[in-house]
Amino acid sequence: MAAQDRGSSTSANAWTPRAPRGHPLWGHAREFDRDQLHYLRTLAREYGDLVPLRLFPFRVVFLNHPDLIEQVVEAKQLAFIKGSVVHRLGELLGHGLITSNGELWRRQRRLIQPAFHQERIAQYGAMMAGHAEHIVDAWEDGQEREIQHDMLRLTLGVVCKALFHMDLDGNARDIEEAFATALAAVRGRASTPLNAVTAVTPLPSRVRLWRAKQRLEELVDRIVRERRQGGDRGDLVSLLLASRYEDGKSLSSRQVRDEVMTILLAGHETTTIAMTWTWYLLTQHPEVEARLHAEIDAVLGDRLPAVSDLPHLSYTRSVISEALRIYPPIWALAREASQDVEIGGYPLRKGDVALFSQWVIHRDQRFFEHPDAFEPERWEHGLERRLPRFAYFPFGTGSRQCLGKAFATMEMPLLLATIARRFRLTLVPGQSVTPRAGVTLRPSAGVRMVPRRRR
C-alpha cells in the first residue's frame, strides 16, 4: 500500500493532511506526554501516514510509512539534522558520533568505522560468550534477580573488554550508577525546552547530571592517559589516538573523550534493554522458550557458543529479531529540518521536526501479520528481505544507522544462547511490566526474575 493511501501523497496539491484538534497554546503536547506510545499508535491508526502536530515549542510532522521515512533519512537527508533530545544527550556525551551533525559527523564516522569491521568484530565472539558464562556463574538456582541490572553489567562488561581492553572490576558499579543517573536526568528533561536559563540553573536533576558526567569523564580521561603512556593495545582508544583527519591533524583529548563516552553509552544501553525485553517475552511464551532450548541443545551440547555457530542458531537469532520488533530499544527518531523542504508533498519549514517511530511501524499490520503477537518464526523465511526497506529499523536507518549494528547482532544471540543453555527464567508474580518511552524503551520499574538451572 502506498503512503498516500493512508492520508499522504507525493503531490503537493492533492490532499490536506488530517490532524487531531490541539490546545490553542500547548498544541498536542499534553496528550503526547501522557502516553507517547499509545498516542502515536492512535495517530497512525486514525489520521494516516502524515500527521501535523504541535508539540510546544516545535512544529512536528509524524510520519508512518517507509516511503516517507526514506525521504527524510536518505533522499533528502542533507536537509535534516538530529533533533532536540539528541542535543540534550550532548550535555552528557559532548560532540561524539551520536550528537554531531554534518561534516563533523562524517569525519568522525570515517575514523571510528575500522573498529567495527566484520573481521574485527568476529574476534570478540569468544570473549562475549565467556563473559556471559562468568556472569551467570554467580546465579543461584531459585534466587530472585533484577534481570535488567544483570544484563547491564553483562553488556557493559562486554563493550569495555571488546572496545577498550578494560576489565570493569571495581569500576563496574561506579560506571553503572553514573550512566543511570545521567540518563535519568536527560530523560526527565526530554520534554523541556533547552535554553540559556535551564542550562545553567542548578536544578536537582542538573546537579545529578553534572556529578555523573564528572565521574564518567574522570574514568574515561584515565583510560586515555593510560593508552597515551602505555602504547597501542589494539583497542578503540588506541585507534582514536592514532587516527588522523584528512589534513593530518589528530583528535584532541576532548574529542577522544567524547567518542569514548558515546561508545560506552551506545554500546551497552540499547543491548541491555533488548536483552531484558527478550527474557521477559520468553517468560510469557513457553512454547517459544522450549523451541529455543531445543535448538541450543542440539547445536551446542555442553559447550559455549562461537561465532561459527550463529548460522546454525537461526531460531535464536529470530527470537532476537522479534524481540527488537516488539520492543525496539530506540522507539522513535526525530530529524529537524535545517532548511525548507517538502516531504510527501507536505512543506516543512526550517526548524520543523520530522518524527517517525519504530514502536509504531514495527506493529503495522500492513507489513507484519498479527503485529502485536510475539512470533519469532515469522523471520525464518527471509521476511526482512521482503519487507519495505524502512519498515523494520531497530538500529536506526539511513546513513546514520547505528555503527555498532554488526557488533550487536552478533553479541545478542551469543549472550542469549550462553545463558539459555544453562538457565530458564521465570517472572516473579505480581509485577506490572510496562514499557516507558524515555531516551530508550525501558521497562518502567525493572524486571524481577528467578533463574532455574536446566542442567
User: Which amino acid belongs to residue 390?
Assistant: F
- 333 forms beta bridges with 356
Q: What is the pLDDT of residue 4?
A: 46
CB of 132 closer than 8 Å to CB of 125: no
CB of 256 closer than 8 Å to CB of 241: yes
Q: Which of 113, 321, 143, 325 lies closest to 236, judged by CA?
A: 113
Assess if residue 244 is contained within a domain.
Answer: yes
Q: What is the pLDDT of residue 374?
A: 98
Q: Chain centroid to CA 426: how far?
A: 25
Assess if residue 393 is contained within a domain.
Answer: yes
Q: Which residues of the chain have pLDDT under 50?
A: 1-2, 4-14, 189-202
Domain range for residue 224? 75-453
- 23 forms beta bridges with 27
Q: What is the pLDDT of residue 148?
A: 93
Place of cell 554534518: 102
Distance from C-alpha of 302 to C-alpha of 175, rounded to nearest angstrom: 34
Assess if residue 159 is contained within a domain.
Answer: yes
Q: What is the pLDDT of residue 151?
A: 93
Assess if residue 10 is contained within a domain.
Answer: no
**Which CATH number characterizes residue 425's domain?**
1.10.630.10
pTM: 0.86
Q: Chain centroid to CA 440: how far?
A: 6
Q: What is the pLDDT of residue 364?
A: 97
For the stretch 142-187, pLDDT in tens is: 999 999 999 998 998 888 887 777 776 656 666 767 767 766 666 5
Angle between helices 405-420 and 286-300 (to 10 degrees): 90
Q: What is the pLDDT of residue 42?
A: 97
CB of 441 closer than 8 Å to CB of 328: yes
Assess if residue 37 is contained within a domain.
Answer: no
Assess if residue 384 is contained within a domain.
Answer: yes
Q: What is the pLDDT of residue 377?
A: 97
CA angle 400, 94, 438 (to 5 degrees): 65
Q: What is the pLDDT of residue 162?
A: 78
For the stretch 355-381, pLDDT in tens is: 999 999 999 999 999 999 999 999 998
How many of the other CB atoms lie within 10 Å of CB of 80? Answer: 25
Q: Chain centroid to CA 264: how far?
A: 13
Assess if residue 35 is contained within a domain.
Answer: no
Count of domains forming the chain:
1
CB of 258 closer than 8 Å to CB of 278: no
Assess if residue 418 is contained within a domain.
Answer: yes
Q: What is the pLDDT of residue 205?
A: 62
Q: What is the pLDDT of residue 190?
A: 40
